[in-house]
Every structure is written in C-alpha cells, then in structure tokens.
Amino acid sequence: MCTIYQSAVQRMLPGAAIAVDLFHVVQFAVKTVGDVRRRAVRELYGRRGRAGDPEYGLRHLLEKNLENLSPEQFAKVIETLDAVGPGQHTTRAWIGGLSVTPTYAALGISRLMPRWVSPPSVERSS
C-alpha cells in the first residue's frame, strides 16, 4: 500500500477502513523480488543485467508461483542464485514473495493486514 495513498485517505476520510487486496500484495511481492534481483546484479557486475547474464535469465521464472515451475526451472533458479553471494538476497526475497499467497490462504486476510488497516468486520475506535 502506498503510504501517500494511506495518508490521503486517513486525512480526507478519517472514518474509512483501508483494505489491501491479495492481488496488490502479490504484485508488491513480485515487484520487490525484481527490485532485489536488479540490485544484486548491479552489485555483482557494476551495471544493469544483460541477456547473457545468468541472473537476467531468471527474471520471468522468479515471477511464477512455485507450483507452476517445472523441476528443471526450479533447479535453474536455485543453482543460479546459489552460485553468487548477492544471489542470496534475491533468494530471500523470492522465498518471502512465494510465502505471501499460501500465508494469506492459511491464516485469513484480516490477520495479516498491517496494523494501520482495519478489517471491515472490526470497528475502529476513535
């Protein structure tokens, strides 16, 4: 959730409940994995990723759900990220991103909402 949006809603609609849907949480997780991967590549090579770089070839695989990866694709991701030190940051971000959807499903959306979000079923105190 964009903090600017959150601030604007709280200022203009003080009694409104802010909700974050699963699609946007997953979208944020995927974007974060990409940002971490790009930062790791820049740290490793001192430049943006290129088509010949092994990490660059992972960019689409890192956007897939784990159950949609073939065993070969999964092995490629693990081997590539494990081969270099900066890849460990990408691995951690990828694992965190993969855990978003099952965690929401297992625990229920309202329990994972940030503390500034009031689920619709919970009444806000003034």
**pLDDT tens per residue, range 1-39:** 678 888 998 899 988 888 777 788 888 888 988 898 888
Q: What is the DSSP letter of 66?
A: G
Report in angstroms the alpha-carbon separations of 9 from 4, 5, 21, 92, 126.
9, 6, 16, 32, 16
With left for phi above 0 and alpha for psi between -120 and 50, is residue 110 left, alpha or beta? Answer: alpha
What would the pLDDT profile of 36-74 be if each residue is shown by its tens digit? 888 888 888 888 888 888 888 888 888 888 778 888 988
